[in-house]
Amino acid sequence: MLKLLRPDLTEYRVYIEILLEKLNQDSVYKMSVTDLLKLLIEKAMKEYCPDVVLKPKRKRYETWKF
């Protein structure tokens, strides 16, 4: 049985909310906190472990240029 990951990020909640609000200003699809954290993990993996291939399972972050 797979154990769900539920990290306690309470101390970082204010930063997560600020970042989420900033990203959702220009985003086509509104991101959830879970999608935001997945996006950040993917970015970190690309930088620190470029040979690891990820298959994203989240909403795409897209912006429209007006």
Condensed to tens digits (0 to 9), the pLDDT of residues 6-36 reads 888 999 999 999 999 998 888 777 888 988 8
Q: Is the pLDDT of residue 61 over 70?
A: no
Supply 28's token pair: 């086509």
Please tell me the total number of residues recorded for the chain in this structure: 66
**pTM of the full structure:** 0.71
Q: Is the pLDDT of residue 62 over 70?
A: no
**43 part of a folded domain:** yes
**61 part of a folded domain:** no
What is the count of structural domains for the chain? 1
pLDDT band at 44 (very low <50, low <70, confident <90, very high): very high
**1 part of a folded domain:** no
State the burial class of residue 45 (Cβ atoms within 10 Å of its Cβ: 0-12, 13-18, 19+): middle
**56 part of a folded domain:** no
**32 part of a folded domain:** yes
**6 part of a folded domain:** no
**21 part of a folded domain:** yes
**Which residue range forms the structural domain that includes residue 34?**
12-48
**5 part of a folded domain:** no
Q: Is the pLDDT of residue 1 over 70?
A: no
CA 42 to the chain's CA centroid: 8
